[in-house]
Amino acid sequence: MKNKNLQNLVNKAILSALLVVVTFMLPSCFLFGNDDDEEDPKPDTPRSEVPTILAKKWLAGQFSMTEFWQYDGTYSGNAFEAGLAFDFQPNGDCEFYLVAGGTTYGCRTELLVYKKGTVQFNQDNQSFTFYPTEGRSRGFYRGCASSFKNYDQKTEQKDLKPEIYYYTLQKDSNGQDQLVTRFEPNSTSTTTFRTVNW
C-alpha cells in the first residue's frame, strides 16, 4: 500500500512539474492561427556590438535521471528535460532556442521554440535585450490522447516581443566562463549557461 501511494505521489509530482513548465512556455509560442507563406515584415530592431567574451553559443539545460521503459522493454523517454540556448554573433545578430520534453503516463511530449533577431547589450546595468523578428514553434506528441495534435507553426509578429535579461559572467569550478542570467537585476532565481559548439 505504501509503495502504491509513493508511486502515485511521484507521478503527481512529475505531472505537476511538467504542467508548470508548459504553462510558462505557452506564451512564448502560439498554438493556433494562420501559417500562410507570406513573409511578415521584419521590424527594424535595435542592436549593438556584442562584447567579445559573450559572442559565443551559450547553453543551459538539464535532463532527468528518471527514465521510462514500456512493459515490452522499449524506451519511452525521460520524465522531463529542458534546454535553452542563445547564439550571440559579434554584429548583434542573435538566435534563441528552447527545447523541452517529458513523459508521463506513456505520453511523450516535445516542444521546440526558435526565435531569430538582434541583441543589444547595456554594459551600464549588465543587461541585454533580445529583439526577436521571426520564429517557429513545433510540438510533437507520441502515445498521447487523440486531442493532442503535432504542430509546426510560424510565430506571429504580435508574439515577438523584446525580452530583457540581466547577466553576470562567472567562472565554474574548472575556470570556464558561465553566463548567469536573471529577469530582474537582483533576483536570486538564475539560469546558468555554458559555452558550446554545434
86 near 115, Cβ under 8 Å?
no
Cα–Cα distance for residue pair 61/16, rounded to 1 Å: 19
Model pLDDT, residue 11: 44
Cα–Cα distance for residue pair 2/8, rounded to 1 Å: 10
Q: What is the pTM of this model?
A: 0.70
Cα–Cα distance for residue pair 103/115, rounded to 1 Å: 25
Model pLDDT, residue 143: 86
Model pLDDT, residue 6: 43
For residue 32, give the C-alpha cell: 493556433
127 near 167, Cβ under 8 Å?
yes
Q: In which residue are the cell numbers 532565481 written?
A: 189
For residue 172, give the C-alpha cell: 565554474
Residue by residue, pLDDT tens for the chain (198 residues) are 544 444 444 444 444 444 434 444 444 444 444 444 455 556 688 999 999 999 999 988 854 545 666 677 777 777 788 899 999 999 999 999 999 998 888 888 999 999 999 999 999 999 999 999 999 999 999 888 888 899 999 999 999 999 999 999 999 999 999 999 999 999 999 999 999 887
98 phi, psi to nearest 5 deg: -135, 125
42 near 133, Cβ under 8 Å?
yes
From the list 125, 133, 128, the residue with the least C-alpha distance to 39 is 133
Gyration radius (Cα) of the chain, Å: 19
Residue 139's CB: how many other CB atoms inside 10 A?
19
Model pLDDT, residue 117: 98
Model pLDDT, residue 94: 97
Model pLDDT, residue 178: 96
Domain residue ranges of the chain, discontinuous segments joined by +: 2-32+41-196
Cα–Cα distance for residue pair 114/139, rounded to 1 Å: 12
For residue 26, give the C-alpha cell: 505557452
Cα–Cα distance for residue pair 120/193, rounded to 1 Å: 18
Model pLDDT, residue 198: 78
Model pLDDT, residue 67: 61
For residue 61, give the C-alpha cell: 539545460
From the list 22, 18, 25, 2, the residue with the least C-alpha distance to 105 is 18
Q: In which residue are the cell numbers 501511494 written?
A: 5
Model pLDDT, residue 81: 86
Q: In which residue are the cell numbers 540581466 written?
A: 166
Model pLDDT, residue 31: 41
